[in-house]
Amino acid sequence: MSQENPTRLELIGITKAYPGCVANDAVSLKVAAGEIHALLGENGAGKSTLMKMIYGVVKPDAGQVLWNNKEIAIEGPAQARALGMGMVFQHFSLFDTLTVTENIALYLSPAEYGSVSALRQRIVEVGEEYGLAINPDREVHTLSVGEQQRVEIIRCLLQDIQLLILDEPTAVLTPAEVAQLIDMLKQLARKGCSILFISHKLHEVNALCDRATILRGGKVTGSCIPSETSAGELAKLMLGDELVLDHDLPPGNAGATRLTLCDIEVRPTSQFAIHLHNINLELKAGEILGLAGVAGNGQDELVDLINGELKPDRGTLTLDDVALADCSIVARRRRGLGTVPADRVGRGSVASMSLTENQLLTGYVNHGVRHSLVNWAAVRQRAADIIGDYGVKATGPASMAGSLSGGNLQKFIIGREIEQQPKVLICFHPTWGVDVGAANHIHKELVALRDRGTAVLVISEDLDELYLLGDRLGALCGGRLSPVRPKAEVPLEQLGEWMAGAFGNAQEEVAHAH
């Protein structure tokens, strides 16, 4: 369909350089009216920068932008919006303490919405039309991530929109929400709106997009029609020739039980927290246990519990037969418990500190510190090794953690934890937002760690990842744990049922049997 339709947006030779790296090098692409166009690329390929230049947030150093076949210079987001562009950012651009209506009022000019009450009405109407129901009077911080994204999309739809840019819109959504979003975008495209869709989830691009442009290292490496191209080929274009999607990892040999959770109950500490009920779990040396579950079903609480940030109200935790009840977070770390939190900046790292210093933050337990004195050369060397071994794209160990893209920082954090050779490693979303090549590497390292006798708990929403890595699988739903069985005994349908909570009170039965 893209061939017959007029060109909506054309980029010619767009270039943007930052100190130390070229984010976009002579990028050209074309989007037709009503076309859903994917922009594919691994982390740091320059997708987000390119989108920001189209939307006027960042100014290009060189190149032309043609809008409906006329050359334009976009001075800022306000002008981009006036032209009919809308953008849904990767990190939502919403004000948490303002209401949905106030947020949208800030996005539009007063001439566009007239009165606040008229705007409220239109938010409800547009929400109904596209299946994006939202209460206009709620404050944004009370909304779920999926609902916040709806607010972002609705406010784009309130104007006369010709191009909608979405920066990794599905990264934060549940599978059901993703399906809803895809339907909505198709409906929008049928009305003639062009859509630029940034993603690195290949199956979504296949399901949704008419055309795809692939970026690698800031350059366009190819362009294709996803429905006529296999996921493997797309991945190859994204990553170059070195990639082989590895779907064949050897199984583990479970040994002695390392970490035991017995009859755990954790009552919620805030109104947003999940109540953990009767959690019984045994994590064995040399196995990877995969826990599935839709976000917000107790994963955060479980990780905090094991890590020592939350104390159980009932039940016991033991690591190698030692009760952890009175162990501080540091003491647990010293006993060989490593954690990779979901929140990379803030929990996993300190943005304003260098990679060397971030390495030391957890690595000090068994490396680089003697008699309270830091051996900076050794710490720096370890950080440099992680950067090299895990393919972290950074200028060096002195780079600030905050200057890395999310996926690169994740590689570094995983590397940091694995290099400490923990006895038990808790991995929360190990490859969230990480490109395919790096995800493969992380998976291999986790398996290697397992084969050296570490007990690994992987908590993820990516089912492919869980089936790839897990020796045993289970799921969390509403703060309860499903049965945990060997992978071969858990078909996808079964896991789906567990994720939906269909496991009765299997855990309680186990508990009573003890």
Partner 1 sequence: MDLALLENILFATVRTGTPLLLVALGAMISERSGVLNLGQEGMILVGAACAFIAAYSADSLMLGVVIGALAGALVSLIFAFVALTLISNQVATGLALTIFGTGLSAFLGAEYVGQSIEGMTRVELPLLHKIPLIGPALFGQDLMVYLGLTLFALVFWTMRSTRLGLIIRAVGENPQVAHALGYKVLLVRYAAVLFGGAMAGLAGAYLSLSYTPMWAEGISAGRGWIALALVVFASWRTERILMGAWLFGFASILHLLLQGFGYDVPSNLLAMLPYAVTIVVLVFMMSRKGAKGLFAPRSLGQPYHPPQ
Alpha carbons within 13 A on the beta-carbon side of 184: 23
Distance of closest approach, residue 288 Cβ to partner 1, in angstroms: 38
Closer to partner 1 by CB, 142 or 318: give it.
142
Q: How far is CA 53 from CA 45, 64, 76, 161, 363, in A?
A: 14, 11, 9, 18, 39
Q: How far apart are CA 63 and CA 234, in angstroms?
A: 27
Distance of closest approach, residue 185 Cβ to partner 1, in angstroms: 22
66 three-state secondary structure: strand
Distance of closest approach, residue 55 Cβ to partner 1, in angstroms: 8
202 three-state secondary structure: helix
Alpha carbons within 13 A on the beta-carbon side of 4: 2
Closer to partner 1 by CB, 96 or 183: give it.
96
Distance of closest approach, residue 52 Cβ to partner 1, in angstroms: 8
The four Cα atoms 148, 153, 157, 158 give a dihedral, to 10 degrees, of: 20
Closer to partner 1 by CB, 58 or 243: give it.
58
Q: Mention every residue, 6+ apart, whose C-beta is less than 8 A from residue 460.
A: 290, 291, 292, 428, 429, 430, 431, 432, 466
Helical spans, DSSP H, in 287-375: 299-307, 329-334, 355-363
The amino acid occupying position 122 is R
Gap between the terminal Cα atoms of the chain: 63
Closer to partner 1 by CB, 14 or 261: give it.
14
Distance of closest approach, residue 513 Cβ to partner 1, in angstroms: 40
Closer to partner 1 by CB, 104 or 289: give it.
104
Distance of closest approach, residue 155 Cβ to partner 1, in angstroms: 10
Closer to partner 1 by CB, 73 or 500: give it.
73
Closest CA to 281 of 327, 319, 250, 255: 319
Q: How far apart are CA 30 and CA 452, in angstroms?
A: 50
Q: Which residues bind partner 1 (CB under 8 A)?
A: 18, 57-59, 76-78, 81, 89, 93-98, 102, 105-107, 110, 270
Distance of closest approach, residue 270 Cβ to partner 1, in angstroms: 8
